[in-house]
Amino acid sequence: MDRILLTAATFCLLLSFGYTLFALGAGRYRPGRVNLVAILGGFVILTLDLWSRGHAQGSCPINSLFDVLVFMCWSTLLIYLVIGPAYHLSLLGAFTSPLVFLVLLFAQLGPVGPAAHGRFDHDPWTELHAALSLVAYGAFALAAVAGLMYLVQDRQLKTRRAGALLYNLPPIADLGVANARLIGLGFGLLTAGFAAGFAAGHISGVHVHSVKFVASIFIWAGYGGILVLRRIRRLPPRRTAEASMLVFCVALFALPAIQYLSSSK
Amino acid sequence: MNILCAGISHRSATVDIREKFAVGPHELEQALTRIRGIDGLAGAVIVSTCNRVEYYTASVCPIRVMDGLRGYLQDRTGGIDAPLYTHESPASVRHLFRVASGLDSMVIGETEILGQLKQAYAAATAFGATTRHLNKLFQHAFRVAKQVRSETQITRGSTSVGSVAVDLAGKIFGDLNGRTVMMLGAGEISERTARSFVSRGIGTVIVTNRTFERAARLAEEIGGAAVHFDDWHNALDKVDILICSTAAPHPVVTREKLEPLLKRRNDRPLFIIDLAVPRDAEASVNDLENVYLYDIDSLEEIVRQSLEVRRAEVVRCEKMIDQHVSEYVAWMRNHISFLT
C-alpha cells in the first residue's frame, strides 16, 4: 500500500515537472492549475502515505533514511502550499516539483526502505525534535528553490532576455524577500527543533551522536550566518540566493550521513 | 440570413480618408436609423475607431443591401472613391473574429479594439438596431477574443519602448506604487517614458537637467520635483528607476560614480533606462549587484522580440478562429430567419 501511494505521489510530481518542461520548451508556460492540482494531489497522497506508515510504526514516520526523505518532501510541499499563494509565487511550484520528484525517486530507488517500527520509544521530545527539524529542511528546500528562481530572473534581466521565463517569474525583489524569509522560517524551526533535541537529552536522557550534533550545528550556523550577513547588509540578495542553495546542497548530502549515524547509535 | 461587412481600415485607407468615414458617438443614432432604412437590411452595428470604420449588417438580400450601403457612404462622404472592402458570411464572420482578437490591428494582438467593439455593439443594442443573428455574432466574437488571448501568446510582451520599460520595472520591483523615478535629462522620449510610469502609479518623479528652469517646468507639469544637475547623485538614494536622456557626449552614470552610491541603498534594485545617444550610462554598470541597465537598443530589441512572438502566434489564432467560424455558420444554418 505504502509503495502504491508513494508511486502515485511521485507520478503527480512527475506530471507537474513534465508539464512545466513541455510548456517552457514550447515557449508558452503560464502558471496555472495543472501545476497546483498536481502538487496538491502529490501532497494529499504523501499525507496519506505518512499517516499509513506512522500508524504502522506507532510513531512519527521518520525512522529510516527513506522515511526522512519522504517526510522532508511532504514538508516542502506543505510550505509551498502555504507560502506560494501568499507571495504570488505560482512558478515556485514549477521549480519545487522537480526537486521533490527527484528526492522521492531517490528515496524509492535507494537501498533503505521504510522502517518496520518506531525507534524512539515514543519519546515526545525526540519526535518533536525530528519533526521540527525536517519541516525546517522543507523550508530550506523551498528557500533554495526561491534562490534558484532569483538567480534565473537575475540572469534574464541582466542579459536582457525577454523570454517566457522573464514574464512568468515573479518580480526579482519579491523573490529576494521570499528567499530571505524562507531561510528565516527554516532557521526558526531548526532552532526550535534543536531546543526540543536538548530537551530530549536533558529530560528523557536520549544520547546524541557527536558527529550528528556537529553536522547539525554546522548547518544551523550556516543558515544563521546567512541571516546575520543579510541583516548587516554584507550579503546582497544574489549572494544570499547562492548561499542558500549551497548550504541546502550540503545539508541534503549531510542528511543521509546524519540519519545513518543516528540510526546506528 | 447573411452577415455583411463593409468598411475601410488602416490597411486599405490613409487617415485622411478614414476620418471622412468616421462616425462619432453623436452621429451614431442617426447613421443607424438611416442605414436601417435600406431595403432588405434587418439590423446593423457600426464600428468606428481611429483605425477602422466598419458596418456589420444582417440581411436576406446581400446584393441590394450592399448597393444601399455604398449609396449611403457615397452620400455621407461626398462621393469619395474609397477603397471599401466588403465581405459576406462566412468571410464577414471570420473578419469580425479576427478584428476582435486583434489580428487585424495595426499592432497585432492589441486589446483596445475589443473594448471598442463592445462599445459599438452596446450602442447598437441601445438603439434597437441589432438582430438575433448580430447579437449571437458579437457575443461569439467576444468569446473568441477572450479564448485567443488566454490560450495563445498573441498579447505577450510590450510593443513600445515606454511600455517595455514599465513591464521591466514590474519584473524588478513588482508593485510600482510608491517607487521613485528620476529623469536625468528632460528629453521628449524620457518624458514620455516617465509619463508611462506616472500612469502606472509611480509615487515620486524627480527631474534634473542641465538647464534647471526646464527641469522645474517639466517637474511641475508631471507633478514631480526638480533638482540641480550637479546634485543628481545625492538624490539617488531614494531613486528606484533612473531614466537617462542627456545630450552629454560622455557617460554621466559611470561605474566609479555609482559604486559608492549603491552602498547607501540597502540592496534595493536600481533600474537604469538609458535612452540617450550617445549613451549616458557606462555598459559596465550592468555588472554591479542590483543594477539593471537597459539602453535604447535593448528596449527596442525586446519590442521586436514581442512582435515576433505575436506574429508567430497568428497561425494558432487563425486555427481557433476557423473553428469558431464553422460553429457560428452551423448555428446560422439551424436558425434561418428572414426578418430578425
Per-residue pLDDT of chain A (265 residues), as tens digits, is 557 888 898 888 888 888 877 766 665 555 567 777 888 899 999 999 999 888 888 778 877 888 888 888 999 888 888 877 665 555 666 678 888 888 888 888 876 666 666 665 667 888 888 889 888 998 999 899 899 999 999 999 999 877 766 777 888 998 998 899 999 999 999 999 999 988 887 877 767 667 777 888 899 999 999 999 999 888 999 999 999 999 999 988 887 777 666 665 4
Chain A residue with the nearest C-alpha to that of B167: A167
B141, pLDDT greater than 90: yes
Task: Region of A60 please: left (phi>0), alpha (psi -120 to 50) or beta.
Answer: beta
CB contact under 8 A, B170 and A171: yes
Strands B291-295 and B41-48, sheet pairing: unpaired
Active site residue B50: yes
Q: Grid coordinates in use for A167?
A: 514574464
Return the pLDDT at B20: 85
Residue pairs between chains A and B whose CB atoms are closer than 8 Å: 53
The one catalytic residue among B50, B61, B244, B317: B50
Q: How far is B291 from chain A, CA to nearest CA, in Å?
A: 8
**What is the DSSP secondary structure assignment for residue B86, as one 8-state letter?**
E
Q: Could you read off the pLDDT of B38-97 as tens digits, one per residue? A: 988 999 999 999 889 999 999 988 889 989 998 888 888 887 777 889 999 899 999 999
Q: Are A186 and A137 in contact (CB under 8 A)?
A: yes
Return the pLDDT at A27: 55
* CA pair distance B169, B160, nearest whole angstrom: 14
Return the pLDDT at A120: 53
Residue window 280-309, chain B: list those with CB within 8 Å of chain A: 286, 289-290, 292, 294, 298, 301-302, 305-306, 309
Q: How many helical (H) and strand (E) elements, i.e. helices and strands, does chain B have?
A: 11, 10
Expressed as residue numbers, the domain containing A67 is 2-263
The burial class, CB within 10 Å (0-12 / 13-18 / 19+), for A111 is exposed
Of B157, B173, B286, the CB nearest to A171: B173
Return the pLDDT at B285: 96
Residue window 237-266, chain B: list those with CB within 8 Å of chain A: 266
Q: How far is B288 from chain A, CA to nearest CA, in Å?
A: 10
Q: Residue B339 — very low, low, confident or very high, per pLDDT cuts 50/70/90?
A: very low
Percent of chain B beyond pLDDT 90?
57
Domain count within chain A: 1
Of A28, A158, A173, the CB nearest to B153: A28
Q: Are B72 and B98 in contact (CB under 8 A)?
A: no
* CA pair distance B82, B21, nearest whole angstrom: 9
CB contact under 8 A, A169 and B168: no
Q: Could you read off the pLDDT of B153-198 as tens digits, one per residue? A: 888 878 888 888 998 999 999 889 999 999 999 888 888 888 889 8
Return the pLDDT at A25: 63
Return the pLDDT at B80: 79
- What's the average model confidence in pLDDT over B247-252? 90
Whether B180 has its CB under 8 Å from any CB of chain A: the answer is: no
- Domains of chain B with CATH codes: 2-151 (3.30.460.30), 161-301 (3.40.50.720)
Return the pLDDT at B82: 74
Of the candidates A105, A98, A103, A88, the residue with the CA atom closest to the CA atom of residue A24: A98
Amino acid letter, residue B184:
L
Note the pTM of the prediction, 2 decimals.
0.76
Whether B177 has its CB under 8 Å from any CB of chain A: the answer is: no
Q: How far is B247 from chain A, CA to nearest CA, in Å?
A: 25
Residues of chain B with Cβ-Cβ distance to A149 below 8 Å are none
Residue that the C-alpha cell 485567443 belongs to = B148
Whether B172 has its CB under 8 Å from any CB of chain A: the answer is: yes
* CA pair distance A10, A206, nearest whole angstrom: 35
Of A162, A164, A173, the CB nearest to B174: A173
Chain B residue with the nearest C-alpha to that of A173: B173
Identify from A34, A88, A150, A167 which residue to disrupt to test chain B contact, counting B C-beta atoms within 10 A and taking the largest count. Answer: A167
Return the pLDDT at A55: 85
CB contact under 8 A, A158 and B157: no
Q: Is B41 helix (H, G, I), strand (E, B) or coil?
A: strand
